[in-house]
């Protein structure tokens, strides 16, 4: 966590030279070069390189819309969609 504040980025991608503060960030980035997608949707079989992308995708199957506009009550599957919507109020 400290590296976030110091700007230290000791983990360097051997494929492209991009650097990261944490090893886990480097591992996730490495999947962009290898095409590895280890997270699979149990409902439709679509694969994802990141767990958070799979979790966001799962909302399409469950119908869950956890992000609700405090002004009008409209709900969204993604926080970014709510943020965009809130600009109209």
Q: How far is CA 51 from the centre of its chain?
A: 7
* Of 74 and 4, the one with more pLDDT: 74
Report if pTM > 0.75: no
Q: How confident is the model at residue 2 (pLDDT cuts 50, 70, 90)?
A: confident
CATH 3.30.160.60 applies to domain 39-86: yes
pLDDT digits (tens, 9 = 90+) for 28-83: 999 999 999 999 999 999 999 999 999 999 999 999 999 999 999 999 999 999 99
What pLDDT, on the 0 to 100 scale, is given for residue 89? 83
What pLDDT, on the 0 to 100 scale, is given for residue 3? 76
Distance separating alpha carbons of residues 87 and 73, to the nearest angstrom: 14
Distance separating alpha carbons of residues 16 and 30, to the nearest angstrom: 9
Distance separating alpha carbons of residues 41 and 57, to the nearest angstrom: 8
């Amino acid at each position: 966590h400290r590296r976030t504040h110091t700007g230290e980025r000791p983990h360097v991608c051997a494929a492209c030279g991009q650097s990261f503060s944490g090893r886990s960030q480097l591992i996730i980035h490495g999947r962009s070069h290898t095409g590895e997608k280890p997270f699979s949707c149990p409902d439709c079989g679509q694969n994802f390189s990141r767990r958070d992308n799979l979790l966001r995708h799962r909302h399409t199957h469950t119908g869950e819309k956890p992000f609700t506009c405090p002004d009008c009550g409209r709900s969204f599957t993604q926080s970014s969609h709510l943020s965009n919507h809130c600009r109209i109020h």
